[in-house]
A = this chain, B = another copy of it.
Amino acid sequence: MSDASKIYLDEKEMPRQWYNLVADMPNKPLPPLHPGTKQPIGPEDLSAIFPMELIRQEVSTEKYIDIPDQVRDIYKIWRPSPLHRAYNLEKYLDAPVKIYYKNESVSPAGSHKPNTAVPQAYYNYKEGVKRIATETGAGQWGSALAFATQHFGIDLRVFMVKISYMQKPYRKSMMNVWNANVVASPSNLTDAGRMILEGNPDSPGSLGIAISEAVETAMKEPDTKYSLGSVLNHVLLHQTIIGLEAQKQMEIADAYPDMVIGCFGGGSNFAGISFPFLGENFRDGKNTRVIAVEPASCPKLTRGQFQYDFGDTVGLTPLLPMFTLGHNFVPAKIHAGGLRYHGAGSIVSQLLKDKLIEAQSVKQLETFEAGLIFARTEGIIPAPETSHAIAAVIREARKAKEEGTPKTILFNFSGHGIIDLAAYDKYFTGELEDHEVTDAEISKSVGELDRIIS
């Protein structure tokens, strides 16, 4: 038993396998459908843009999948990541809670994203892929993949949403440090980009357009594949190393969480921390509450509909079974850019449908308040995305205080906010606001889906 502020694992104790929750789920997720035939898609439908091993993992029902040695060697640059006990935050909250957090901000790119970027780059390298195309919004995913691909000598082209390209130069610089070719999207390098630019030469871009450009590049250029940083099953699988390490570390702390909390965009950091604990709920009769925290301005889990929908805005991807706001839903421009996504992945959506996980939404100002409390007590400045999880932790701690019930809380500190400091400035000067979504807006964008699947 350890009551230290930080619990480290020896590298030898770093997990040798990822955990595939699908094996233990009471109801399996529904299959993705071909947008034309509306029939379940097969591996061959995906082979144009993904290497075979990732496709195998995407549909696997094996409980454990080996982590290749070469991936583990790169993981060792920052993994196992520390588990912290938030003593200073606990003291500030003065509530009967023990708060632990898994610190994924220690990675080269500053978030959990390299956990999947490295194996994705590796499997592409093993299958002879020379180039990868991807998209990035605020830049977290693009920088993580840049770090990973340069280790394997793979060229990377990142289509970065133009408005972020102009407003967030540091993420672009980081990608340049790691040899990526960063292009503002819409670009004139693809048909999709040229079409948009013809209609509007000053288009600020969107994640949807950037995905279209990246997928088109992968389909047209030789030896080129596409890579995605969240939503898909194989991405969530790679992230389970977070929760697997946390389980060992909680054991060293002689503690077990009453609840596990993660912020929610496409689901990757949330799945990473929580799936191994959900597995224990399913297999071993544990009863841990698992809470996904989303922005009130993009409330797919708390106010969306379970429905087949496209993964992208333009409609190029297979149809996925999702809790969704509709792929045409345009979330307000909150600073947690990584959470501005219209749908949840298949596995998470099935879990929510079966009431095996919970969801909460938080407004923007509450998340910045929470982020500042954390930065002032625990010393690490959180990314605006991560502050959503922290806001929920603070809520639950206050509830425990009101009820006088001791609780042990584990959350995922998914990333630091050092490149997001401009957002904190705006909070201080009162420029940030909360955004309400009306029921009518949601009905409209969800309603449009009926014609797609019918």
For residue A375, CB closer than 8 A to chain B, the reply is: yes
Chain B residue at smallest Cβ distance from A417: B177
Number of interface residues of A (CB under 8 A): 39
* Complex partner residue of A150 from B8, B376, B419, CB under 8 angstroms: B376
Enumerate A158-207 residues with CB–CB distance to B below 8 Å.
Answer: 169-170, 173-174, 176-179
For residue A372, CB closer than 8 A to chain B, the reply is: yes
Most B C-beta atoms less than 10 A away, residue of A8, A106, A179, A422: A8
Given the interface contacts A179-B376, A380-B108, does A8 sit within 8 Å of B5 by beta carbon?
Answer: no
Q: Is the interface of A mostly helix, strand, loop or mixed?
A: helix
Q: Which residues of B contact A98 (CB under 8 A)?
A: none
Per-residue B-contact encoding for A394-426, CB less than 8 Å = 1, 0 else: 000000000000000000000000110110110
For residue A378, CB closer than 8 A to chain B, the reply is: yes
For residue A51, CB closer than 8 A to chain B, the reply is: no
Q: Which residues of B contact A11 (CB under 8 A)?
A: 4-6
Per-residue B-contact encoding for A2-13, CB less than 8 Å = 1, 0 else: 001110101110
Enumerate A360-396 residues with CB–CB distance to B below 8 Å.
Answer: 372, 375-376, 378-381
CA distance A170 to B88 in the complex (A): 25
Q: Which residues of B contact A8 (CB under 8 A)?
A: 8
16 intermolecular pairs with C-beta atoms under 8 Å apart: A4-B10, A4-B12, A5-B11, A77-B88, A77-B379, A78-B379, A108-B381, A169-B421, A170-B421, A173-B421, A173-B425, A174-B421, A176-B428, A177-B421, A179-B376, A418-B419
Beyond the given pairs A77-B88, A150-B376, 11 more chain A to chain B contacts, judged by CB atoms under 8 angstroms and listed by A's residue number, are: A77-B378, A106-B106, A107-B379, A108-B380, A110-B418, A147-B379, A170-B419, A174-B381, A174-B418, A176-B428, A177-B381
